Amino acid sequence: MPFIIGTPIPDNKILVQSLSHIYGIGLVKSEALCKKSGFGDDARGIHVTSDKSQLLESLVNKKAILVGADLRRFQNGKIRRLYAIMTYRGLRHKRGLPVRGQRTHTNAKKRTHFNTNVS
């Protein structure tokens, strides 16, 4: 099982779908990466050699896009900045409530924590 940017690529899965498991790379970017590195539409994880994995990593680095742990660190830093300057969005993040104006009366089951000890 090859690793690309710290993410395992399954041997039997189609490569375009496997590359989209890397945090920050979607299907469109993974298709473009496969095309530039010379993989066909039916390429699978078995076909990725160490040379090809290094080529894929260099293509990602050449595009200068944040992926993986670097992208997570960047996004968490932005949220921490919102906490620090005490913005409304930062408080909503901290409380686990919807941030972008969604209603909370009947929806937001995923974001609310149902904390009964809130005073």
119 residues of the chain, pLDDT tens digit each:
778 888 888 888 898 998 888 899 999 999 998 899 888 888 888 888 888 888 888 888 888 888 888 999 999 999 999 999 999 999 999 888 888 888 888 876 666 555 544 43
Phi, psi of 5 (to 5 degrees): 55, 40
pTM over the 0.75 mark: no
Domain 3-63, CATH:
1.10.8.50
As a whole number of angstroms, the distance between CA 105 and CA 100 comes to 15
Spans of all domains in the chain = 3-63, 68-100
For residue 111, what pLDDT is reported? 61
